[in-house]
Amino acid sequence: MTYATDPLLRPIEHKVDEGIPLSKEDGLALLQTRDLHALGRMAQRAKERKSGRKVFYVLNRYINSTNVCYANCKFCSFAKGEQEAGAVRMPADDVLAKALETGTNFNQIHIVGGHDPRQLSLDYWLPLMRRFKATLPHVQLSLFTSAEIDYLAKRHRLPYEDILRELRDAGLDNINGGGAEIFSARFRKLVCPNKVDADNWLRVHEVAHSIGIASNATMLYGTVETLEERVDHFIALRESQRRSPGFNAFIPLAFHPDGNQLNDCGWTTGLDDLRMFATARLMLDNFDHIKAYWMIQGLKVCQIALQFGADDMDGTHGSTDEERIYHSAGTSSGQYVDDREFRRLIEEAGYQPVRRNSTYDEFPHDWNPHDATHRGDRAPTREAHGAPAE
Ligand code: V47
C-alpha cells in the first residue's frame, strides 16, 4: 500500500522495499519532493531495517586544536592566519588537559583543525596520540579529516598508506568525515580550490579502511551546489563504500552563512534539512548510520530527523569544550548536551537510546571506565552487557 501523493515516489518505494539501489533520477526526485510524509516513512522504514528501534549517541569531547589555516575555503568562518586576532593554536599539553577537564567518563575524542603549517605535523600528533591512549585507554580517537591527512602526506612527502599506518599505530581509530564538501570539480574550483580534490578525498578513506581505520563521510549542502551535484556525491560515496568498506556514518552538514564569503547563500530550510536526511538514508544503502548532529541542525530538527532516516545524534561534548567551526558561522546550538537530554529526545521519538563509541560498540548508558566489571582498555563486548551477539 502506498500513501505517496507524489507519483515520482511510487516506483522508488518499490525499489526501496526490494533493496534495489536508487538511481540518480530517484535521488533528484527525493531531493525535490514536497511529499514529506511519504519520504519520511520510506526513510524511516530503511532506517529500521538497519538499526531497528536503536538511536545512538556518544559521550565525547570535541576540540578544535587549531584554527590556523591557509586553505581559504569560501564557506569557512573559522580559519585565521597565524598573526590574525582570534588565532588559536593549542599546545599538546592543553589539548590533553582540555579533554580531561570534565573527567574521564567518555568514549570518544573528536578533534579537527585547520591546515596549520606548525601544528599539522607527525611530530606534534604522534606523541600526543600516544599520551591520549596511555591516559585514556578506553577512549577512541576520532581525529582529522582526510583533507588534513592529505596535508600531512604532502608535508612529510609520504604516501597516504605510510601516513595512515603511523597514525593507526599511534592510536587513530576513526577519521572524521569533513573536507568532502561537494565532490564536483566545478564546485571545488569555485569554493575550495586549495583543498584535497574529490578523488584523493575518497582515496584517503579507502586506504584507511583497507588497513583497519574506520571513518565517516559528510556533504556540505546549501551553498552554490546543484541538486544533481548532491546526488552525484551520494553515488560516489556509495561506490567508494562498495570498493573499500569502512564508512560508519554519513553526516549532512547544513551550510552556516555568518561571517564567510558565501554569506549571500543564507540558511538552509527545515524542509531541505529533512529531505537531506531522508535522501541520504535512501541513497546510501550500504552505510549503516545517518547522523543528525545536534550542533549543526539544532536539537529540534535533529529529533524530527529520527523519523526521516537518521539513527544517531552524535555527542555530548564536554561542558567546557569550545566547538568553533559552527559557532563562528552562526549556529544557535550550545556547546554541551546532557546525555539524559539525548535519551529523553530519542525516547520521545519512539526509539531506544544506545550509547556508543566511534565504531559503534554499544555501552550501557551508565557505563563507567572505572567500574570493576568494565576496567581495561576495551569496550565491553555486546554480550557483556546483555545485548544479543551479532
Ligand atoms: O570540512 C566548515 C564544514 C567540516 C562550515 O565525522 C561548514 O562525525 C557548514 O569534519 N557551514 C569539518 N559547514 C567538520 C567535520 C565534521 C562535522 C560533523 C561531524 C563529523 C563526523 C565531522 O565542517 C568542513 C566543512 O565541510 N564546515 N564551515 C559552514 N560555514
Give residue-wise pLDDT tens across range 339-382: 999 999 999 999 999 999 999 999 999 999 987 555 444 444 43
> How many domains, the chain?
2
How many alpha carbons fall within 13 Å on the CB side of residue 203? 11
Cα-based distances in Å from 144 to 63, 242, 306:
11, 23, 27
Helix axes of 227-243 and 24-32: crossing angle, nearest 10 degrees? 130
Tell whether 279 is covered by a domain: yes
Shared domain for 310 and 341, answered yes or no, is yes
Q: Which pLDDT score is estimated for 2?
A: 62
Shared domain for 167 and 122, answered yes or no, is yes
CA of 229 to the centre of ligand 1 (A): 18
The stretch 165-181 carries a mean pLDDT of 98
Shared domain for 318 and 375, answered yes or no, is yes
Yes or no: say if 24 and 232 are a contact pair by the CB < 8 Å rule. yes
CA of 66 to the centre of ligand 1 (A): 14
Q: What is the pLDDT of residues 302-345, one digit of tens each?
A: 999 999 999 999 999 987 777 889 999 999 888 899 999 999 99
Shared domain for 146 and 166, answered yes or no, is yes
CA of 202 to the centre of ligand 1 (A): 16
Q: Is 77 in the pocket of ligand 1 (CB under 6 A)?
A: yes
Please state, rounded to an integer, the average pLDDT across all residues of the chain: 93
Please name the residue that has the C-alpha cell 567518555.
106
Q: Which pLDDT score is estimated for 213?
A: 98
The CB density around residue 185, as the number of other CB atoms within 10 Å, is 12
Shared domain for 309 and 365, answered yes or no, is yes
The CB density around residue 199, as the number of other CB atoms within 10 Å, is 10
Tell whether 3 is covered by a domain: no
Q: Is 260 in the pocket of ligand 1 (CB under 6 A)?
A: yes
Beta-carbon contacts of 360 under 8 Å, excluding residues fewer than 6 positions away, are 56, 248, 288, 289
Q: Is 191 in the pocket of ligand 1 (CB under 6 A)?
A: no
Beta bridge partners of 68: 80
Q: Is 268 in the pocket of ligand 1 (CB under 6 A)?
A: no
Q: Is 69 in the pocket of ligand 1 (CB under 6 A)?
A: no
The CB density around residue 120, as the number of other CB atoms within 10 Å, is 21
Tell whether 128 is covered by a domain: yes
Burial grade of 270 (CB within 10 A; 0-12, 13-18, 19 or more): middle
Shared domain for 95 and 20, answered yes or no, is no
Average the pLDDT over each of 2-16, 182-196, 199-213 and give the range with the smallest value: 2-16
Is pLDDT at 43 greater than 90 in this prediction? yes
Confidence of residue 390 (pLDDT cuts 50, 70, 90): very low
Shared domain for 262 and 313, answered yes or no, is yes
The stretch 145-170 carries a mean pLDDT of 98
The residue with greater pLDDT, 390 or 204, is 204
Of 100, 106, 151, residue with least CA distance to 124: 151
Q: Which pLDDT score is estimated for 320?
A: 76
What is the amino acid identity at position 367?
A: W
**Candidates 253, 261, 276, 333: which one to mutate for ligand 1, based on the most atoms within 8 Å of Cβ?**
253
Cα-based distances in Å from 199 to 112, 121, 148, 196, 332:
21, 23, 15, 8, 34
Is 184 in a helix, a strand, or coil?
coil
Which CATH number belongs to the domain containing residue 255 in this structure?
3.20.20.70
Tell whether 2 is covered by a domain: no
Shared domain for 231 and 285, answered yes or no, is yes
pTM: 0.95
Q: In what order do the strands lie in the sheet with 214-221?
A: 60-64, 108-112, 140-143, 172-175, 214-221, 247-254, 289-290
The residue with greater pLDDT, 321 or 219, is 219
Q: Which pLDDT score is estimated for 84?
A: 96
Q: What is the pLDDT of residues 72-100, one digit of tens each?
A: 999 999 999 999 999 999 999 999 999 99
Q: Report the percentage of the chain scoring pLDDT > 70.
A: 95
Distance CA 55, CA 280 (A): 16
What is the amino acid identity at position 232?
A: D
Which phi and psi (to 5°) does residue 344 adopt?
A: -65, -45
Shared domain for 277 and 161, answered yes or no, is yes
Tell whether 388 is covered by a domain: no
Is pLDDT at 188 greater than 80 in this prediction? yes
Shared domain for 210 and 235, answered yes or no, is yes
Yes or no: say if 286 and 277 are a contact pair by the CB < 8 Å rule. no
The stretch 175-182 carries a mean pLDDT of 98
Shared domain for 21 and 83, answered yes or no, is no
Q: What angle do CA 304, 275, 328 make, to 5 degrees?
A: 75
CA of 250 to the centre of ligand 1 (A): 12
Shared domain for 129 and 176, answered yes or no, is yes
Tell whether 390 is covered by a domain: no
Range of the domain at 245: 55-379
Helix axes of 9-18 and 24-32: crossing angle, nearest 10 degrees? 120
Of 272, 261, 195, residue with least CA distance to 227: 272
Protein residue closest via CA to atom 8 of ligand 1: 176
DSSP state of 254: E
Q: Output the nine-digit C-alpha cell for 93.
A: 599539553
CA of 78 to the centre of ligand 1 (A): 11
